[in-house]
Amino acid sequence: MTTASSTIDFLADVHDRDFEQIVLCRDPEVGLESVIAVHDTTLGPSLGGVRMRQYQSSVAALADAMNLAQAMTYKAALAGVSLGGGKSVINADPRVANRDEVLVAHAKYIASLGGRYIPGVDMGTSVRDLELIGRHVEVVSSQRGDPSYFTARGVVRSIEVALDACGRSVDGSRVAIQGLGNVGLHVARMLTDAGADVFGADIDEARVHRAVNEIGVIAMDLDDILLADVDVVAPCAGGGVVDEQVVAGLRASVLVGAANNMLSHNALAQDLRERGIVHVPDFVANAGGLLAVDAEVRDDDSELEARVDAIADTARDILHRSESGGQDSVSVALTMAQELVAVNRKYRPYFRS
């Protein structure tokens, strides 16, 4: 049961984080419970993946949607794309029997926003799912293909920058990857090709076997991967995995990964800095997928790889400002992104039209 105090807390959170719109969606006939979060459309229509997973509660689903949408705003700003931050989550097991009905019901809610939110592929959804959603929504991304390669490419470029800040290179380094799904597998392959020794773990043993057999990844226990004795730890699965205990036990000198909101809370970035661990924020490192989606929406991918590789320049700038200014890298990156949004705030065409 929702209490008056929890409702007030939610409304205060929406206000304090400057969310434009939260849509709570239900269709009891098909069993849909979902959330569409539009954080900011200052730079353009909000874009974000459709995540499908079984949450512990509707409150957890709402929190995930809001956190991911807000991060997308900052990711888009720092990546230099004309898009805002959004996200939607469907609170259901991806293996649900009437999956298509649930997706269509969710798509109709997306369509009701009139283009303010552009959906894409995310955890638990596929290109085929977005094709289905696209029958009901005018503008949909991720229909040409999975952007995972470009997400991974940006993560690898960020790892290269972080290692360089430590006086190291990828060749000869030891990297532990948590999560060997589409993005993690690409990261493993790129790093192995560059001469790194790659260790990997995943909740799905089939993914681990594939990484071992196809790439030569060294399998590790999932419980040990984040605290492995390596140079780089790269979380590439779910968010919130780096908490106080992990930060205290990290043996790596670099933390860079693809997982959205990998820190359980942003204050841990200062703890990482105090321990001398070089950290490129996830909303900087994993922006390659967003750049790929932006290229699809604009129907122009002529400079896509160059734009993804330029993530390295942004990462290098953030690390330099962090070092020279005595701030943690997340605070630096957030300030840069918020300033970019604030400069354009008065225009906000998708908010006022």
- Report d(CA 147, CA 152) in Å as an integer: 9
142-167 pLDDT, tens digit per residue, is 767 678 999 999 999 999 999 999 99
Start-end of CATH 3.40.50.10860 domains in the chain: 19-71+82-133
Which residues are marked as active site?
87
Residue 7 has what pLDDT?
64
The mean pLDDT value for 110-131 works out to: 93
Per-residue DSSP letter, 217? P
Start-end of CATH 3.40.50.720 domains in the chain: 148-338
Residue 306 has what pLDDT?
97
- Report d(CA 232, CA 199) in Å as an integer: 10
Query: How many beta carbons lie within 10 A of that of residue 341, not counting itself?
Result: 20
Per-residue pLDDT band for 3 (boundaries 50, 70, 90) equals low
Whether domain 148-338 has CATH 3.40.50.720: yes
pTM: predicted TM-score of the whole model, two decimal places: 0.88
352 pLDDT higher than 50: no
347 pLDDT higher than 70: no
Q: What is the CATH number of domain 19-71+82-133?
A: 3.40.50.10860
- Report d(CA 149, CA 156) in Å as an integer: 11
Whole-Å CA distances, 234 to 33, 191, 283: 32, 11, 14
- Report d(CA 226, CA 285) in Å as an integer: 18
